[in-house]
Structure 1
């Protein structure tokens, strides 16, 4: 390769054109704008039957790789444009040097010809003339050498530009590959697998997951399911786990098998979303854009780790993470990795777990389990914080004895708290969606005749439970904990067709901030005009001390007017043990109001701290005839 040939190679115009084309591509922006428009059209999340926030996050995560591609296009286009300009500049300088070199070569040829002519004279010429001719040749050769050196330097500069462009292209290629890897896997879809179920008359019937769901009646679904072999059941589970795992009538054990599949798939999707958002934030102008979203998604992964119990080694610093104690029919303690996942549909914001041993034959609640509770959490509960709700259930279960079992029911979206979501706790839509789901779930449980079902609802969960009781939920006992209200569709126990005569209890600290909102309703907000604490037929229980019977530990109220809202679940506290007593049927203690003194103008004034000091008055939560009398 002659000097300057590398510097002159290639078409600068072509390279610049490619760079301009890449820089002008807007695939990422176009995708993002269309998805953002779709998300905006979904409207407010208040009361939605599906999780709008989860849909929005999924769409944003799907568009993030496209934005990464656009950023890679821009970076590659910029690199190519710069490379094209460098090529053009080098070609211009190299061509000028080549033109100069051609002139110098002509001049050198002429200078050498003169020297050769002088040396070819018949008679020796003047020595000084020859010296001048030799010097002229040497001067031209020196100029030629300098030009060659300049062309070589231009070649080297072009080599450097080539390397820089190659590095930029390699970097862009790495971004393209990363973007491709960040695209989430398409959701699994049923392939319509069918199995032949035997009928009582000896014939067979083709059954699919969808045809099972179309039966609607949990009893009919169970009858068909029980006629299938284990292999047939597994075939339907793996074909459509999202449907089988949330289908009332399917045994809890088999629902768990299906939901574990769905939960692991969703966790993998969330981790892909984290990668996509992180990758996008590495692009120019996007730093920190999705920090809050990434933090929330990481919390969702932690909750799923706790539910599934398959990554406990990653959480060694957290005691008992992903481990759940259950008891067999002989009362022997068994530690399970992961808890039973009896409902899981993230798009519905539905996550329901069960802590307790299942019958090894039926896969449902065993006959020796005397009490089963369903705990419904309140405002702020979501998948990202569900591990906190699970830990609360763990503590209730641990205090209830080996013949009890606990569901943690998060079968619908619950309001968020704070900031732009501050008003959500007063909105009714969440309860309107959750109440029928809770009713369907509770009434579809296959419980032994000797097993009592107890409902526990905290805060906003009370509005869901009240609406469910209004719709015909069946239960043996009910306890409302710091309740937002019965819900706007019910005014009291008389509105509950199946539970009006069942024992109802309320547990709430005297200074709980929620007391300022109870019984307030209007303008489409609030959860009924009836204050649950004062509703006829509801027995209020004492909250007492942080350690039951120990005044030195402080009262529940001493934790503060905000903290007291959840402090009623403090283990070993009077309030906590009263909740457990309602579940187990053991004695509970009645609430005693604070004493009053006569204040200015004869107005009665509460004397804080006097009610809790009154002697405990214990009753059975199973028979309220004395209290009602």
Structure 2
């Protein structure tokens, strides 16, 4: 993995790589001419020297020389192409980095290229200090992006050279890079997604496909691997899991039929054993059927979306987790990540994908054309369910765990995004807004530009500024009759939620911090014209339109009930 630093990038000499590229180009030309000369010089050899041991040896040596020259030409040409691309791209990246450093310094920021730090100028007000600090962080992010691409270029060029150098035994151009092990992939999980992206891009296409084929569960769940590759891996996981469940279901049915036929006869001990096994399998069968049915529904939903949907995560265990993008976040100019709340599970992913699609469709209407927006339905955590786990909705543990996962996922989106705009919005619905709040605070720095909530019970912070995106980039919405998102409606829990509703109503007013809807929270309050706790994405609603305008950064089009636009 490349260890190229910002200082080294700024001091790099693309001309040296260009000179090396030209040398390899000259070598490939010379090899091509030598091959033609050899062919012309030996084409009449069979006629001039048709028989004898020496003649056979000459023929063998000639064919070997022809083969070696032919094998050497293409690798030499590929090394030339890799170095030529490296020189041109390095020059561009160095220019970008130098331009960013110069612009920052002209703006009064102190940039230490050796220590890779950016210090904002002195501010005279708290608001200005917050703004300058955010800009300093943005400069670091922009420089990191350029440096990351330079490191990935470094790795890919090294891979191309190593793959085409002569092997001591097999000859020029025959060196095959070894397969990547599961341990290598496991070692990347949990690392900075930018490091993962650099490592992934340093692999050859053959190595990447080998990992997808051999370890799809790891590839599909690792932040920092490009979205298209994660989708390919997770679809293999989905296929394999469905196949395994179908095989288990078939075996259970066959075994139960055999046991049914042998419940009588044999010894008393045999009959008891058969009864016990039949009962156990009879209990397992509906569970297997339910697991397979939920995966079948997810597969059918993905199929119905055609090439628009990417499966970026899948874990069928328990209530199930899934991450589905509508559109490709790696190429989209604007990406939203929708985090659902209480009672969402794998069975409900179809509805979450529909919501994501509705946001994307509304956002596309505000742009010059489709394809610039991607929306991710992110069920990457375990929300409380309408069962014995419901009381955890008034606690933050699941949100804390989910916040860590969300933070890493968004870092992965930043790492794998291609050139161009990269505006990311987090949208938290209900308890999902608690997850977003956790990911953006409490020692985390959720790498988004805007935060939107819909029906939020609280975000585990005291003020919008605690979310680290700037108060004007925090957008809160709640329907008047939403018993969860509207503080005045918390008493609605008493009738909306059986048994534990009154207890939740009492706890809700304080357990996740002050309501974001409050004037003192300091966020923008966008207008909501829908009803209830789940209507925020109703077609043709102002609520949906406002979210779409935030997602696309068109803040001037957002209708506000309170606050100031960025």
TM-score range, shorter chain: 0.5 to 0.7
8 A Cα contact 2:465 2:522, kept in partner: no
8 A Cα contact 1:212 1:221, kept in partner: no
Match of 1:473 among 424, 446, 453: 446
Match of 2:295 among 291, 294, 301: 301
* SS in structure 1 of the partner of residue 533 of structure 2: helix
Match of 1:239 among 211, 214, 224: 214
* SS in structure 1 of the partner of residue 360 of structure 2: helix
1:505 aligns with: 475
Give the structure with the higher percent helix. 2
Residue 342 (str. 1) matches residue 312 (str. 2): yes
Q: Structure 1's 425 and 291: CA in aligned 2 closer, same or farther, altered over 3 A?
A: farther
Q: Structure 1's 280 and 473: CA in aligned 2 closer, same or farther, altered over 3 A?
A: farther
2:401 aligns with: 433
CA distance in 2, matches of 1:482, 1:281: 48
Residue 263 (str. 1) matches residue 238 (str. 2): yes
CA distance in 1, matches of 2:543, 2:508: 32
Q: Structure 1's 262 and 288: CA in aligned 2 closer, same or farther, altered over 3 A?
A: closer
CA distance in 1, matches of 2:476, 2:507: 27
Match of 2:381 among 412, 435, 444: 412
CA distance in 1, matches of 2:523, 2:549: 16
2:514 aligns with: 530
Q: Structure 1's 291 and 225: CA in aligned 2 closer, same or farther, altered over 3 A?
A: closer
2:435 aligns with: 464
Deviation at 1:452, TM superposition (A): 1.0
Match of 2:348 among 355, 374, 385: 385
2:334 aligns with: 371
* SS in structure 2 of the partner of residue 225 of structure 1: helix
Instruction: Structure 2: give runs of 5+ residues left out of the alignment.
Output: 1-154, 164-176, 261-274, 365-369, 492-502
CA distance in 2, matches of 1:387, 1:274: 24
CA distance in 2, matches of 1:580, 1:197: 38
* SS in structure 1 of the partner of residue 534 of structure 2: helix
How many corresponding residue pairs?
348
8 A Cα contact 2:333 2:420, kept in partner: no
CA distance in 2, matches of 1:415, 1:297: 19
Deviation at 1:404, TM superposition (A): 0.9
Q: TM-score of the superposition, structure 2-length normalised?
A: 0.55
2:499 aligns with: none
Q: How is 1:474-489 mapped onto 2 (pairs within 5 angstroms)?
A: 474-487=447-460
Q: TM-score of the superposition, structure 1-length normalised?
A: 0.50
Greater shift after overlay, 298-307 or 229-238?
Answer: 298-307
Q: How is 1:533-612 mapped onto 2 (pairs within 5 angstroms)?
A: 533-534=517-518, 535-544=520-529, 556-557=530-531, 564-586=532-554, 587-591=557-561
8 A Cα contact 1:341 1:354, kept in partner: yes
CA distance in 2, matches of 1:275, 1:373: 41
8 A Cα contact 2:238 2:299, kept in partner: no
Q: Deviation digits for residues 2-46 of structure 1, max 9, x if unmatched?
A: xxxxxxxxxxxxxxxxxxxxxxxxxxxxxxxxxxxxxxxxxxxxx
Give the greater-gyration-radius structure (CA).
1
CA distance in 1, matches of 2:255, 2:523: 54
1:141 aligns with: none
Q: Structure 1's 541 and 200: CA in aligned 2 closer, same or farther, altered over 3 A?
A: same
Deviation at 1:260, TM superposition (A): 1.0
Q: Structure 1's 297 and 525: CA in aligned 2 closer, same or farther, altered over 3 A?
A: farther
1:188 aligns with: none
Deviation at 1:227, TM superposition (A): 2.5
Q: Deviation digits for residues 538-584 of structure 1, max 9, x if unmatched?
A: 1122222xxxxxxxxxxx33xxxxxx100122111222222222212
8 A Cα contact 1:427 1:524, kept in partner: no
2:202 aligns with: 227
Q: Structure 1's 288 and 513: CA in aligned 2 closer, same or farther, altered over 3 A?
A: farther
8 A Cα contact 2:381 2:398, kept in partner: yes
CA distance in 1, matches of 2:350, 2:309: 11
8 A Cα contact 1:428 1:526, kept in partner: no
RMSD: 3.5
8 A Cα contact 2:450 2:550, kept in partner: yes
8 A Cα contact 1:296 1:384, kept in partner: no
Greater shift after overlay, 237-246 or 208-217?
Answer: 208-217
Deviation at 1:352, TM superposition (A): 1.1
CA distance in 2, matches of 1:307, 1:381: 16
Greater shift after overlay, 469-478 or 262-271?
Answer: 262-271
Deviation at 1:295, TM superposition (A): 6.3
CA distance in 1, matches of 2:247, 2:395: 33
CA distance in 1, matches of 2:241, 2:510: 34
Q: Deviation digits for residues 196-221 of structure 1, max 9, x if unmatched?
A: 99847966886434324424232222
* SS in structure 2 of the partner of residue 351 of structure 1: strand
Deviation at 1:298, TM superposition (A): 4.8
Deviation at 1:523, TM superposition (A): 8.5
Q: Structure 1's 435 and 522: CA in aligned 2 closer, same or farther, altered over 3 A?
A: farther
* SS in structure 2 of the partner of residue 505 of structure 1: strand
CA distance in 1, matches of 2:283, 2:182: 41
8 A Cα contact 2:475 2:525, kept in partner: yes
Deviation at 1:254, TM superposition (A): 1.0
Q: Deviation digits for residues 438-462 of structure 1, max 9, x if unmatched?
A: 0001022133452210111111111
Deviation at 1:235, TM superposition (A): 0.9
Q: Structure 1's 432 and 387: CA in aligned 2 closer, same or farther, altered over 3 A?
A: same
Residue 210 (str. 1) matches residue 183 (str. 2): yes
* SS in structure 2 of the partner of residue 253 of structure 1: helix
Q: Structure 1's 502 and 436: CA in aligned 2 closer, same or farther, altered over 3 A?
A: farther
Deviation at 1:506, TM superposition (A): 1.3
1:453 aligns with: 424
CA distance in 2, matches of 1:426, 1:280: 45
